[in-house]
Amino acid sequence: MLLTIGIVVIVIVIIFFLIFWGYYNRIIRLENRIDNSWGQIDVQLKRRADLIPNLLESVKGYMTHEKETLENVTKARSALMNAKTPQDNIDADNMLTGALKSLFAVSEAYPDLKANQNFLQLQDELTHTEDKISYARQHYNDSVLSFNNIVETIPGIWFAKRMNKSTKEMIQIPVENREVPQVKF
Amino acid sequence: MLVEDHIKHNKRLTVFICGFMAFLFLLVISSFGYLYFGNIYISIIFGLPVALVYIAITYSFSVKTVLSAAKARPANSLVREEKLLMYKVEEMAIAAGLPTPKVYVQDSDNINAFATGKKPEEAVICATTGAIRKLKTDELEGVIAHEMSHIKNHDILIATVTIGVVGAISLISEIVFYSMFWGGAGRGRKNEGNAIIMVLAIILIILAPIFSRLTYLAISRKREYLADSNGAYLTRNPEGLAKALEKIKNDMPQGKPKGSKTVAPLYIANPFKKQSTNSIWSTHPPINERIKRLRSM
């Protein structure tokens, strides 16, 4: 009798240990994925900030009457360089996106500039970096979503409490910055 | 239906169909053993490893030959259009959380694209020059997202393994067929067996190649739907891919398509045939149905 109870207890402990093992690894893996996807956003933000001086250099000679537009770009860039938290970074980046949008809109009035190969290449690359940032942001939020889903539902929530893990914040994206039509998910 | 439900639904169906394929394969091997050795276990013990090796070899060779069969070349970053294609591939890789695949270009006026590679780390995405020129940015993005989903879902593995199983089943069927023709079947058997089971085993072996081929095609079509819905999830813009498919539908094929027919399932739309009706013999679902599903998301 004692032996049977002993075996049952051992089996239950092993099963519990295996479940804990699985959930522990899963929670850590999902958390690492979030860190990794933040790293991806960070890389792209830096890349974008690095491209700005080149862009300003190439438009300087052409855009003599657009002082304010150029200043806005510089301002947004330094805000991006000084941002500390992820949300600050994203807000500064949105500012930069707006400033660049008006710069590119204004550039339409300068046919010489539009024909400049260097400017075109920079424009392509900046648009590309902007797209990469928005997809990296999307991937970040997807990762946060799967992490939160595990950490907030049973049985994950029991293990998460023990591991001192709680839900993470998604990056808020202003509505007007989404160019593609929103889809219901 | 929501995109995530589409993804789950298609995944479940694939598991089910693959299970059926495995069951069919075991049935054929057992029937073969029953007919020739009077024992189904012998053929399972010997047949399974042989079949696995056969499939592994098919796998390692098929991927290598796809690019040369398609006459694809690496994208040239000095050409603006191809540079933009490379940009799109990189963006979709970020959205999917995958390493950036190599980008290839196939010189063809038809709008098409395919993905290949053994695992996500070594993947290749190839688009035709027609696709680069005729598709708008959001449409090209939809197509690339579709291919990226094929990579993420390990569809290249699924396609080559299922092609391997179909090949193995046909091989067994052919052996039985020819040996029966020469009157060899069951000659060395100790066990007299049951005549009805024997006839059933022979019928099964003869019909198996057709069934396995149909199963393989069903899997291929399910994977297309899955890649469509996954792709829509990556871009958050099903309309882009829907518009691209519409362009492919209205774009008449020009010249002979390059590449071998075995890689047809890897393309976004079958380059060899225009699909308008729902047929159990197609590698891809009807294009109108795919557009309809994308627009209902």
Q: How does DSSP classify residue B128?
A: E
DSSP letter for each residue of B240-289: HHHHHHHHHHHS---SPPPS-GGGGGGBSS-SSS---S--TT-SS--HHH
User: From CA A170, how far away is CA A138, in angstroms rounded?
Assistant: 9
Choose, out of B83, B89, B91, the residue to mutate when testing the contact with A (most A CBs < 10 Å): B91
Contact residues for B174 (Cβ-Cβ < 8 A; gap 6+): none
Q: Which of A18-32, A154-168, B73-87, B143-157 comes out lowest in average pLDDT?
A: A154-168
Phi first, then psi: what are they for B24, rounded to 5°? -60, -45
Average model confidence (pLDDT) across chain B: 81
Q: Which residues in chain A land under pLDDT 50?
A: 177-185
C-beta atoms of A131 and B87 within 8 A = yes
H-helix or E-strand spanning residue B194: none
Q: Which of A16-25, B8-17, B149-158 comes out lowest in average pLDDT?
A: B8-17
Q: Confidence class of residue B275 from pLDDT cuts 50, 70 and 90?
A: low
- B237 neighbourhood in chain A, CB within 8 Å: 180-181, 183
Q: Confidence class of residue B217 from pLDDT cuts 50, 70 and 90?
A: confident
pLDDT surpassing 80 at residue B179: no
Side by side, which strands form the sheet with B113-116?
Answer: B72-74, B102-106, B124-128, B113-116
What is the pLDDT at residue B256? 58
Q: How far is B250 from chain A, CA to nearest CA, in Å?
A: 24
What is the pLDDT at residue B249? 84
Read off the tokens for B42: 């012998």
**Helices A86-107 and A117-152 sit at what angle, rounded to 10 degrees?**
150
**Once rounded to an integer, what is the mean pLDDT over residues B65-91?**
88
> Which of the two residues, B186 and B161, has the higher pLDDT score?
B161
What is the pLDDT at residue A1? 83
User: From CA B32, how far away is CA B173, in angstroms rounded?
Assistant: 9
pLDDT surpassing 90 at residue B163: no
**Once rounded to an integer, what is the mean pLDDT over residues B10-22?**
79
From the list A120, A128, A136, the residue facing B87 with the nearest CB is A128
How many other β-carbons are positioned within 10 Å of the β-carbon of residue A29? 12
Choose, out of A40, A119, A131, the residue to mutate when testing the contact with B (most B CBs < 10 Å): A131
Percent share of chain B, pLDDT over 90: 22
Q: How far is A159 from chain B, CA to nearest CA, in Å?
A: 26
Task: Output the 3-class SS for A81-149.
Answer: HHCCCHHHHHHHHHHHHHHHHHHHHHHCCCHHHHCCHHHHHHHHHHHHHHHHHHHHHHHHHHHHHHHHH
Under a CB-based contact definition with an 8 Å cutoff, are residues A99 and A73 in contact? Answer: yes
* Cα dihedral B19→B22→B162→B285 (10° resolution): -40
In B, minimum Cα distance to A33 occurs at B97
- Pairing verdict, β B124-128 and B113-116: antiparallel
What is the pLDDT at residue A54? 85
Q: What is the pTM of this model?
A: 0.80
Q: How far is B236 from chain A, CA to nearest CA, in Å?
A: 6
Question: How large is the ipTM?
Answer: 0.76
A63-88 pLDDT, tens per residue? 777 778 888 888 889 888 888 887 88
pLDDT surpassing 60 at residue B35: yes
